[in-house]
Amino acid sequence: MKQIKLLLSIVLLLFTMQIGAQKFEGLALTPPMGWNSWNHFACEINEDIIKGVADEMASNGMRDAGYEYINIDDCWHGERDSLGFIHPSPEHFPSGMKALSDYVHSKGLKLGIYSDAGWKTCGGHPGSRGHEYQDAMQYAKWGIDYLKYDWCFTDGLKAEGTYLTMREALRAAGRPIVLSICEWGDNSPWFWATDIGHLWRTTGDIYNCFDCEYDHGSWSSWGVLQIIDQRDNDTLRKYAGPDHWNDPDMMEIGNGMSVNEDRAHFSMWCMLAAPLIAGNDLRKMNAETLEILTNKEAIAVDQDALGIQGFKYMSMDSVDVWVKPLADNDLAICFLNKGKNNAEIEFNWKENTIVDDLKGFTYNFSESEYTLRDLWLKEDIGKTSKPLKATVPGYDVLMLRLSDI
Ligand code: GLA
């Protein structure tokens, strides 16, 4: 009898360890899509803004295009109570987080929240250090679906173990929550985070400009082009795939760049299989911004079932040529003009056999013919039998989907 009890205890222990040894799987089989408060609102947030944004997303076509998460970033916090449980700011979130998640869920959307692995958040609010299990329990109780977990005030901490602690805490709290790792790529999370989180930031913070560095003194934030080229994409793309994505930061579309720049920004995030997290005020955007954010054919490139992160195939003067293998032997190709002036391009398909060694795809245009679809014009523009000639405006793209005939 004693032996049976011992055996049962061991089985139970192994079972518990097994549960504790995994992230919630299958929550991000394609890159997460949603909205986050930080890029536009920074700390000026409250429950009315969040509800208003959810109303918009549910009714303006974004939800139908695949956007799902409404993510509250830094500065939602109030104080910890005497037992250590965190509460939202009573001034800015007077109805509480459970009421807010009920509201967001009633719109067919999900709610995300933000915390920090250190003692304080980047905005100086209470961090989760030492309170990981309590915070995870609180988020689960509130009905939270997504956690962005930042890396300020973490002196002396090791990233992998620290993120693992939060993964375990979320697991123990029992509610499936997407874990978004945000340590800016400083500790190369692509090497260790596949089993810990569903996405990890690869760069410093994005800035609302196409080609610039914004110097904050001890750190910088970066324009779209700087983000795209900040890390070695060939290294990064090996580690991205369903349920574990590289995250080049939330989008700045609709926050003040030109339409061309916004279009190029969105196209490149799709080519990189990046999470598509809008960062503008959805309640006040113009028709052009909405059209970019809801371009279903571009989104289909991002959300493609193979989950392959694109790569730079070649450069032609100011134009970089990015490609992304897609399901059914299709291929996305994006001519990104990094210069301010128009670029005349000529691309002879038959002289370019595109090979993705990593994923084992070859596109030989002498052997197979493909149709060309312009994903922004939303028109078929020809075939690969003839060289492509086009003008790509400055800071803009020509983005095509090729389909095998
Ligand atoms: C860091 C993150 C940003 C944002 C702010 C909030 O800088 O990288 O995305 O969450 O903190 O303070």
Q: Are residues 327 and 292 both part of a single domain?
A: no
Task: Give percent above pLDDT 70 in the chain.
Answer: 95
- As a whole number of angstroms, the distance between CA 157 and CA 153 comes to 9
pLDDT at 20: 52
- Is there a catalytic annotation at residue 374? no
Does residue 335 form part of some domain?
A: yes
Tell me, in angstroms, the distance from the centre of ligand 1 to residue 315's CA.
Answer: 33
Asked if residue 191 and residue 145 are part of one domain, the reply reads yes
Domain count for the chain, please give it. 2
* Interatomic CA distance for residues 188 and 178, integer angstroms: 20
Last residue of a domain, one of 278, 302, 326: 302
Distance (Å, whole) CA 253 – CA 276: 11
Atom of ligand 1 nearest to the CA of 182: 8
Residues 6+ apart with CB under 8 A from 273: 31, 240, 245, 246, 302, 304, 307, 308, 309, 310, 324
Alpha helices (runs of H) in 42-114, residue ranges in sequence order: 47-59, 62-65, 97-106
Closest Cα to residue 285, out of 112, 70, 52, 31? 52
**Is the domain of 69 the same as that of 127?**
yes
Given a cut of 60, whether residue 179 has pLDDT beyond it is: yes
Cα–Cα distance measured from residue 6 to residue 144, given in angstroms and rounded to the nearest whole number: 38
Which atom of ligand 1 sits closest to the CA of residue 73? 10
Q: Whose CA is nearest to atom 9 of ligand 1?
A: 205
Of 238, 273, 302, which residue sits at a domain end? 302
Four-point Cα dihedral 62, 66, 67, 68, nearest 10: 130
pTM of the model: 0.95
Chain centre to alpha carbon of residue 198: 10
Q: Sign of torsion, CA 362 368 371 374?
A: positive
pLDDT for position 13:
47
* C-alpha–C-alpha distance, residues 198 and 26, integer Å: 9
CB 273, CB 245: distance < 8 Å:
yes
With a Cβ cut-off of 6 Å, ligand 1 is lined by: 38, 73-74, 121-123, 150, 182, 205
- Determine, yes or no, domain membership for 49: yes
Residue 252 lies in a domain: yes
pLDDT at 6: 55
Confidence of residue 16 (pLDDT cuts 50, 70, 90): very low
Same domain, 318 and 254: no
Mean pLDDT of 283-293: 98
Q: What pairs with residue 374 in β-bridges?
A: 379, 400
For position 7, what pLDDT does the model report? 57
Same domain, 38 and 63: yes
Q: Which helix (H) or strand (E) holds 133?
A: helix 132-142
Angular region, 75: left φ>0, alpha ψ -120 to 50, beta rest: left
Pair 171, 233 in one domain: yes
What's the pLDDT score for residue 375? Answer: 99
pLDDT digits (tens, 9 = 90+) for 218-276: 999 999 999 999 999 999 999 999 999 999 999 999 999 999 999 999 999 999 999 99
- 1 C-alpha vs ligand 1 centroid, how far in Å? 56
- Both 52 and 101 in one domain: the answer is yes
390 and 296 part of one domain: no
Read off the CATH number of the domain in which 373 is found: 2.60.40.1180
Choosing from 116, 145, 150, 302, the catalytic residue is: 150
Residue 195 is a catalytic residue: no
Residue 97 in domain = yes
CB count, 10 Å around CB of 84?
A: 13
Residues 41 and 149 placed together within one structural domain of the fold = yes
The one catalytic residue among 205, 243, 281, 396 = 205
Is residue 3 a part of any domain in this protein? no
Q: How confident is the model at residue 395 (pLDDT cuts 50, 70, 90)?
A: very high
Final residue before a domain boundary, out of 302, 320, 355: 302
Q: Using an 8 Å Cβ cutoff, are 52 and 40 in contact?
A: no
Q: Are 198 and 32 in contact (CB under 8 A)?
A: yes
pLDDT of 125 strictly over 90? yes
Q: What is the pLDDT of residues 332-377, one digit of tens each?
A: 999 999 999 999 999 999 999 999 999 999 999 999 999 999 999 9
Amino acid at 255: N
- Nearest residue to 276 (alpha-carbon basis) of 306, 255, 245, 305: 245
* Residue 150 Cα to ligand 1 middle (Å): 7
Q: Are 345 and 397 a contacting pair, CB within 8 Å?
A: no
Whole-angstrom Cα distance, residue 174 to residue 168? 10
pLDDT band at 2 (very low <50, low <70, confident <90, very high): low
Distance from C-alpha of 78 to C-alpha of 92, rounded to nearest angstrom: 9
pLDDT at residue 17 is higher than 80: no
DSSP annotation string for 110-162: EEEEEEESSSB-TTSSB--TT-HHHHHHHHHHHT--EEEEE-SS-TT--HHHH
Q: Is residue 83 part of a domain?
A: yes
In this prediction, residue 4 has a pLDDT band, given cuts at 50, 70 and 90, of low
User: Residue 29's domain is classified under what CATH number?
Assistant: 3.20.20.70
Flag whether 4 is in a domain.
no
Backbone angles phi, psi at 302, to 5 degrees: -65, -45
* Residue 215: inside a domain: yes
Q: What's the pLDDT at 18?
A: 45
Asked whether residue 158 falls in the same domain as residue 80, the answer is: yes
Q: Which of 257, 328, 271 is nearest to 299 (CA)?
A: 271
Q: How large is the angle between the packed helices 47-59 and 97-106, nearest 10 degrees?
A: 10
Task: State whether 362 and 258 are in the same domain.
Answer: no
* Mean pLDDT across the chain: 96
Ligand 1 atom with the shortest distance to the CA of 121: 12
Structural domain boundaries, residue 224: 9-302
Locate tokens 């779209």: which residue? 224
Report CA(138)–ligand 1 centroid distance (Å): 21
* CA 267/CA 271 separation, integer angstroms: 6
- Identity of the residue numbered 39: N
Of 377, 392, 375, nearest to 337 by C-alpha is: 392
Kindly tell me if the per-residue pLDDT of 206 is higher than 60.
Answer: yes
| Per-residue pLDDT at 135 | 98
Out of 12-26, 32-46, 142-156, pick the least confident.
12-26
Q: Which atom of ligand 1 is nearest to the CA of 184?
A: 8
Q: Note the pLDDT tens digit of each residue in 29-61.
A: 999 999 999 999 999 999 999 999 999 999 999
Same structural domain for residues 65 and 187?
yes
